[in-house]
Amino acid sequence: MLRYQDHVFSLVLRMLTHREAAEDVTQEAFVSAWRHIDTFRGGSFRSWLFTIAANRARDELRKGVRRPTTSLDAARDDPDRADIDPPEPGPSPEGVAEQGEVRAAIEVALATLPPDWREVIVMSDIHGMDYAEIAAATGVALGTVKSRLSRARSRLREVILESRELSEVAQRLSDRR
Partner 1 sequence: MMWWRRRALEAPTTPLERLQERASAYIDGELTEAERVAFEAELASSEVARDHVDDLRQVRIALAGIGTVRAPRSFALLAPPAPVRVGPRRLEWATRAGTGVAALLFVVALTNSSSAGDTPVVFATAPRESASSAANQAGGQAGGQPAPKNDSANAAPPAAPTSTPIANTTPRSASPGAGAAGAVAPGAATPGTAPAGTPSAAPAFAPATAPAPGTPASGSASENPPPSAAPATATATAPAPTDPPPHGAGPAGAGGGMGGATTGSGTIAPSPFGPVGVPTATTGPAGAAPATAPPASPPPRLLGTPSSGATPQAATALATATATVAAFSEAGPAATATGADPFRPDPRDAGPVFARPTPDTGTVVENPMYVPAPTPVAVEAMRAPAPAGTDAAAPSSDWTGGTVAALGALTVLLGGASVAQFAARRRHSR
For binding to partner 1 (CB under 8 A), which residues are involved? 1-2, 5-10, 13-14, 19, 23, 26-27, 30-32, 34-35, 55-56, 80, 83-87, 99, 102-103, 106-107, 110, 121-122, 124-128, 130-131, 141, 143-144, 146-151, 153-154, 156-157, 160-161, 169-171, 173-174, 177
The minimum distance between CB 43 and partner 1, in angstroms, equals 19
The minimum distance between CB 5 and partner 1, in angstroms, equals 5
The minimum distance between CB 69 and partner 1, in angstroms, equals 16
Which of 63, 57, 70, 52 lies closest to 22 in space, CA to CA? 57
The minimum distance between CB 159 and partner 1, in angstroms, equals 9
Smaller CB separation from partner 1, 122 or 137 = 122
Compute the CA torsion angle 114, 116, 119, 121 (nearest 10 deg).
-80
**Interior/surface letters 86-117, b for 16+ CB within 10 angstroms, e for the rest:** eeeeeeeeeeeebbbebbbbbbbbbbebebbb
Smaller CB separation from partner 1, 35 or 62 = 35
- Largest pairwise CA distance in the chain: 51
User: Where on the phi/psi map is residue 20: left (φ > 0), alpha (ψ -120 to 50), or beta?
Assistant: alpha
